[in-house]
Amino acid sequence: MNYIKDKNVSKIEEALEVSTYISRLVYALENNNAKVTFQKERQVDKNRPIQYTNKYTEAQLFPHEDPVAAIKRELKTLKVEEYIETVKDIRFPQKSEMRVFGRCYGDKEVYIKIRVELIQASVGGVNNTIFVMSFHFTSVKFKKTDFPYGKK
């Protein structure tokens, strides 16, 4: 499976880099120095079947929860084995790279794409914004080869 289109360039980071990224992500989330922005409704979803949209997936998986709180909890439990690739956004080259993960919820597979942006560094610490661009059921089943450091 390759979700990346022509406008993006992808690479596979070393397992240690992915582990460090996840550790920093978890640290930021646990210490409340990160704002989580979940794109519940996206422009690209207008052209997709509803069952493959962020809004639908979030409603199915976390029906009685605050979407941002649920996504935040899920991001804290990401594993290196769920890593798929790192993507550079050519449309916005000044932005940080996006990490792509895949996770199973029962028999449903979810595609997760996030970007962490440093917003400001101040005397009080560092503030980051974690943009969750994708958190939706996959339209194409994951393959074992999609995960360089694990299996589905």
For residue 54, the model assigns a pLDDT of: 94
Q: pLDDT digits over 16-36, tens only? A: 999 999 998 998 888 777 888
d(CA 115, CA 131): 5
| Residue 145 binned pLDDT confidence (cut-offs 50, 70, 90) | very high
Q: Which domains does the chain have, with CATH numbers?
A: 8-142 (3.30.2310.40)
With beta carbons less than 8 A apart as the criterion, state whether 35 and 130 touch. Answer: yes
pTM recorded for the entire structure: 0.88
* Strand stretches in the chain, DSSP E: 8-11, 34-38, 83-89, 98-105, 108-122, 125-137
Q: pLDDT digits over 52-102, tens only? A: 999 999 999 999 999 999 999 999 999 999 999 999 887 778 888 999 999
For residue 120, the model assigns a pLDDT of: 58
